[in-house]
Amino acid sequence: MSSENIVVGQDAPQFQAAAYGQQASISLKDLQGKIVVIYFYPKDDTPGCTTEGQEFTALYPEFQAAGAEILGVSRDSLSSHEKFACKYHFPFPLLADTDEKLCQTFDVLKEKNMYGKTSIGVERSTFVIDRQGKIAYVERKVKAAGHAAAMLDLVKKLP
């Protein structure tokens, strides 16, 4: 599925992935009737990803009060997620997309160029899925700082 297929108003793609948190795996069906904020980030325990996770953590009670669940996704392993989540006390699940299926479904793998070396990495992106299972919002090339607050404002406006 390419990014052209992930548009506001369409049904969100169904998924199931291994998770670090209260459940061993999470699917979109498990969260039916809730707003789902699914954010993709490049790598556990790196500065931008830590900032983003900490800001979602600080606002998590407000997201829950608004009927929303947060899911963080990266290509890191469950053991890496466990260390990251425990270090920063993340209260929401982190999905381990080690086979990159979820990243491919949401088209967040992009070519990156760092110090002249080209590689494929996760483009920091967020998708908000409404209570009916439809895509309510898509943001790519996310800047970590302040992003969680912007997503909370958006979630509070959803029916």
Would you name the residues annotated as active-site residues?
A: 49
DSSP assignment, residue 11? B
Rounded distance between C-alpha atoms, residue 5 and residue 147, angstroms: 24
Would residue 63 be called left, alpha or beta, if left means φ above 0 and alpha means ψ between -120 and 50 degrees?
alpha
Kindly give the interhelix angle for 47-65 and 147-157, rounded to the nearest 10 degrees: 20
- Give the bridge partners for 19, in sequence order: 95
